[in-house]
Structure 1
Amino acid sequence: MKADAGRRYRLYPTVDQEQVLAAWGHTVRALWNVALEQRVHVYEQHRRTLRAMEQCRYLTEARAESELAWLAELPAQAGQQVLRHLDAAYDNFFNPKHPAAFPVFKKRGHRLSVPLPGQAVQIRKLNRHWAEVRLPKLGWVRFRLSRALGGAIRNATISRDRVGWHIAFGVATGIKAAALNGKPGCGVDFGVTASAYVSTETAPRIKPPGLDKRERARLRYLEQRKARQLVHAKRHNGGKYSNRLRRTSAQIAKMKGRETSRRQDFTHRLTTYLAKNHGFVGIEDLRVTSMTASAKGTLQRPGRNVRAKAGLNRSILDNCPGERRRQLEYKCRLYGSQLRPVSPFHTSQTCAACGRVDPASRQGCGRLFACAHCGHEDDADHNASVEIEARARRTGGSVINSTRRRRTVPSPAHGRMRMREAQPATRG
Structure 2
Amino acid sequence: MKTQFLSFRICATFIATIGGVRADAGRKYRAYPTRGQEQILTGWGHTARALWNVALEQRVYLWEQRRYTLRSAEQCKYLTAARSELDWIGGLPAQAGQQILRQLDRAYDNFWNPDHPARFPARKKRGHRLSIPLPGQAVEVRKLNRKWAEVCLPKLGWLRFRLSRAMGGTIRNATISRDGNGWHISFGVHIGRKPDPPNGEPVCGVDFGVAASAFVSTEPTPRLMPPTLTANERKRLKALEQRKARQITYAKRHNGGKYSRRLRTTIAQIAKLATQRANRRRDFTHKLTTDLAKSHSLIGIEDLRVKNMTTSAKGTTGAPGKNVRSKAGLNRSVLDNTPGERRRQLEYKTRMYGCVLVAVPPFHTSQTCAACGLVDPGSRKGCGRLFACTHCGHEDDADHNASIEIEARARRTGGSDINSTRSIPRVRVPANGRRRMREAPKPAHAS
Aligned mate of 1:360, from 371, 375, 378 = 378
**Equivalence for 1:83:** 101
Counterparts of 2:203 and 2:276, CA distance in 1: 34
Counterparts of 1:222 and 1:302, CA distance in 2: 27
Counterparts of 2:215 and 2:118, CA distance in 1: 32
Aligned mate of 1:336, from 337, 354, 368 = 354
SS in 2 for 1:364: helix
**Residue by residue, what CA displacement relative to the aligned partner does 1:156-202 show, whole Å, maximum 9, x if unpaired?**
11111222211111111211221100110111110001111111111
**Residue by residue, what CA displacement relative to the aligned partner does 1:402-423 show, whole Å, maximum 9, x if unpaired?**
9533166xxxxxxxxx95479x
**Residue by residue, what CA displacement relative to the aligned partner does 1:28-65 show, whole Å, maximum 9, x if unpaired?**
11211222222233333433222212221222222223
Aligned mate of 1:319, from 329, 334, 337 = 337
Counterparts of 1:113 and 1:260, CA distance in 2: 18
**Equivalence for 1:15:** 35
Q: Does 1:197 align with 2:215?
A: yes
**Equivalence for 2:426:** 405
Which structure: greater helix fraction?
A: 2
**Equivalence for 2:397:** 379
The alignment-based identity, stated in percent, is: 72
**Aligned-pair RMSD on alpha carbons?**
2.3
**Equivalence for 2:253:** 235
Q: Does 1:292 align with 2:313?
A: no
**Equivalence for 1:412:** none
**Equivalence for 2:74:** 54
Aligned mate of 1:98, from 113, 116, 127 = 116
- The offset of 1:257, in angstroms, is 0.8
Aligned mate of 2:206, from 177, 182, 188 = 188
Q: How many residues align?
A: 409
**Equivalence for 1:425:** none
**Equivalence for 1:254:** 272
**Equivalence for 2:173:** 155
Counterparts of 2:112 and 2:217, CA distance in 1: 41
Q: Is the 8 A contact 2:31 2:183 kept in 1?
A: yes
- Closer/same/farther in 2, CA of residues 51 and 304 from structure 1, 3 Å limit: same
Counterparts of 1:366 and 1:95, CA distance in 2: 41
- The offset of 1:6, in angstroms, is 1.6
Stretch moving more, 136-145 or 312-321: 136-145
- Closer/same/farther in 2, CA of residues 220 and 407 from structure 1, 3 Å limit: closer
Q: Which runs of 5+ in 1 are unaligned?
A: 409-417, 423-428
- The offset of 1:93, in angstroms, is 2.4
**Residue by residue, what CA displacement relative to the aligned partner does 1:199-242 show, whole Å, maximum 9, x if unpaired?**
11111111111110111111122112212212221222122111
- The offset of 1:79, in angstroms, is 0.8
Counterparts of 1:44 and 1:392, CA distance in 2: 45
Counterparts of 2:245 and 2:313, CA distance in 1: 26
**Residue by residue, what CA displacement relative to the aligned partner does 1:378-426 show, whole Å, maximum 9, x if unpaired?**
111111111111211222179xxx9533166xxxxxxxxx95479xxxx
**Equivalence for 1:131:** 149
- The offset of 1:368, in angstroms, is 1.0
Counterparts of 1:122 and 1:306, CA distance in 2: 52
Q: Which runs of 5+ in 2 are unaligned?
A: 1-19, 417-422, 437-447
Q: Is the 8 A contact 2:207 2:214 kept in 1?
A: yes
Counterparts of 1:379 and 1:46, CA distance in 2: 60
Q: Which amino acid aligns with 1:233?
A: A
Q: Is the 8 A contact 1:282 1:397 kept in 2?
A: no
- Closer/same/farther in 2, CA of residues 115 and 220 from structure 1, 3 Å limit: same
- Closer/same/farther in 2, CA of residues 259 and 103 from structure 1, 3 Å limit: same
- Closer/same/farther in 2, CA of residues 386 and 44 from structure 1, 3 Å limit: closer
Q: Is the 8 A contact 1:132 1:142 kept in 2?
A: yes
SS in 1 for 2:250: helix
Q: Is the 8 A contact 1:339 1:397 kept in 2?
A: no
Aligned mate of 2:191, from 166, 173, 185 = 173
- The offset of 1:91, in angstroms, is 2.1
Counterparts of 1:58 and 1:197, CA distance in 2: 54
Aligned mate of 2:240, from 212, 222, 245 = 222
SS in 1 for 2:381: coil
Q: Is the 8 A contact 1:395 1:403 kept in 2?
A: no
Q: Does 1:208 align with 2:229?
A: no
> Normalised by the size of structure 1, how large is the TM-score?
0.90
Q: Is the 8 A contact 2:204 2:218 kept in 1?
A: yes
**Residue by residue, what CA displacement relative to the aligned partner does 1:300-344 show, whole Å, maximum 9, x if unpaired?**
997421111111111101100000000000111111111111111
Aligned mate of 1:282, from 289, 300, 309 = 300
> Normalised by the size of structure 2, how large is the TM-score?
0.87
**Equivalence for 1:107:** 125
**Equivalence for 1:71:** 89
SS in 2 for 1:19: helix
Counterparts of 1:72 and 1:21, CA distance in 2: 14
Counterparts of 2:150 and 2:110, CA distance in 1: 34
- The offset of 1:299, in angstroms, is 11
Runs of 4+ in 1 over 4 A off after TM superposition: 297-303
Q: Which amino acid aligns with 1:405?
A: R
Counterparts of 1:21 and 1:405, CA distance in 2: 62
Stretch moving more, 209-218 or 357-366: 357-366
